[in-house]
Amino acid sequence: IAGITQAPTSQILAAGRRMTLRCTQDMRHNAMYWYRQDLGLGLRLIHYSNTAGTTGKGEVPDGYSVSRANTDDFPLTLASAVPSQTSVYFCASSDSGLAGGNEQFFGPGTRLTVL
């Protein structure tokens, strides 16, 4: 693995189903993030984690949950998917979440469609 990987690449999901998007990084970065990207809107932060064992809510956290059991993995769970959660989801990481100047590295994204 080099950088950040996400799985699945794409998924079509029935409304009401539970879904977990996976994210793994091998850069030993302390901070990890989940964003959604919708047409005409900027990336919006869903949840973040500044270090293993801690998580925080971003701008649009409702309907999503995360966990950070270790440094490398940061899964995002949709407990009961709704059509408004149709989006492209990006996972990102940075060396530190509490310092300026740390660029974020992005995974390839997961394209999720909820019907």
Q: Which residues bind another protein (CB under 8 A)?
A: 40-45, 48, 58, 90, 97-101, 103-109
By C-beta, is 85 or 90 nearer to another protein? 90
- Whose structure tokens read 């959660």? 85
Tell me, letter by letter, the H, E, C secondary structure of 1-50: CCCEEEECCEEEECCCCCEEEEEEECCCCCEEEEEEECCCCCCEEEEEEC
Smaller CB separation from another protein, 62 or 103:
103
Write the burial class of residue 86 (CB in 10 Å: 0-12 exposed, 13-18 middle, 19+ buried).
middle
Nearest to another protein of 2, 100 (CB atom)? 100
Tell me how far, at minimum, the Cβ of 100 lies from another protein, in Å: 4
- Nearest in space to 29 (alpha carbons), one of 47, 49, 57, 58: 49
| Least gap, CB of 112 to another protein (angstroms) | 15
Provide, rounded to whole angstroms, the least separation between the CB of residue 50 and another protein. 8
Q: What would the two tokens of residue 70 be?
A: 């270790």
Minimal distance in Å, beta carbon 80 to another protein? 27
Q: Which CB, 18 or 24, lies closer to another protein?
A: 24
